[in-house]
Amino acid sequence: MIIKLNKDLEYKLDAISKKSGVSKPEMIEKMVCAFIERYEAKSGMIKPRVKKRDGTVFYPMYELFKEMHLYYKDKEYQVDKKKESWDYRHLKSIRGKIMDFLTAETQENIVSIEDEDLLLAFQFILHKMPKWWVDNNFNLGAITKHFDTILTQIKEGKHYGGTKEKLDDFINALGNSLSTEQHDYEVV
């Protein structure tokens, strides 16, 4: 948040900050907190409104996809409310496919996978997306529909970067990070 102060108030805060030894940002935070406490005491509790989707596990995946779209296409990902709704449905499906894929490839019955691990797997897939998919069909619907084909092509080394780094290496590294020593999971 950016707070603009008029010059008179800014000079007063500078003087108080120097005399008290408290930084300006800390003073402003304390003043805002005091104001909110007084307001809530007088008018009741404030219930902040957060966008429904921003609190979900799909939000970081969506932001990552938009960043990769900007990276590959050199333009922002244009989205309206209806398209965003479809994109979140596709992300839910992709997330499930990644979980199925990881548990099948590691051949272990993993009780729980952290959201950070799924985000890393999704990031890896987006970074290693085969060139044809990036150039012709880089959208969440296509990734959902052709997930297995894309992973097969990545496994074969046909990804955007052109190097022969295999998906198996990533799966092994991710499988090692899912061990019971690092996380408090129980592998059955």
Q: Domain segments of the chain: what residues?
A: 7-43, 52-177
Cβ count near 102 (within 10 Å): 19
Q: What percent of the chain has pLDDT over 70?
A: 71
pLDDT score of 145: 93
pLDDT score of 6: 77
Cβ count near 143 (within 10 Å): 22
Give the start-end residues of each E strand in the chain: none
pLDDT beneath 70: ranges in the chain: 1-4, 47-55, 105-113, 158-188
Distance CA 69, CA 57 (A): 20
pLDDT score of 55: 59
pLDDT score of 154: 81
pLDDT score of 181: 39
DSSP letter string over 170-182? HHHHHHHHTSTTT
pLDDT score of 158: 67
pLDDT score of 131: 83
CB distance 169 to 163 below 8 Å: no
Average pLDDT, the chain: 76
pLDDT score of 25: 80
pLDDT digits (tens, 9 = 90+) for 152-179: 888 777 655 555 555 566 666 555 554 4
Question: Against a cut of 0.85, is the pTM above it?
Answer: no
pLDDT score of 81: 75
Both structure tokens of 10: 């800014």
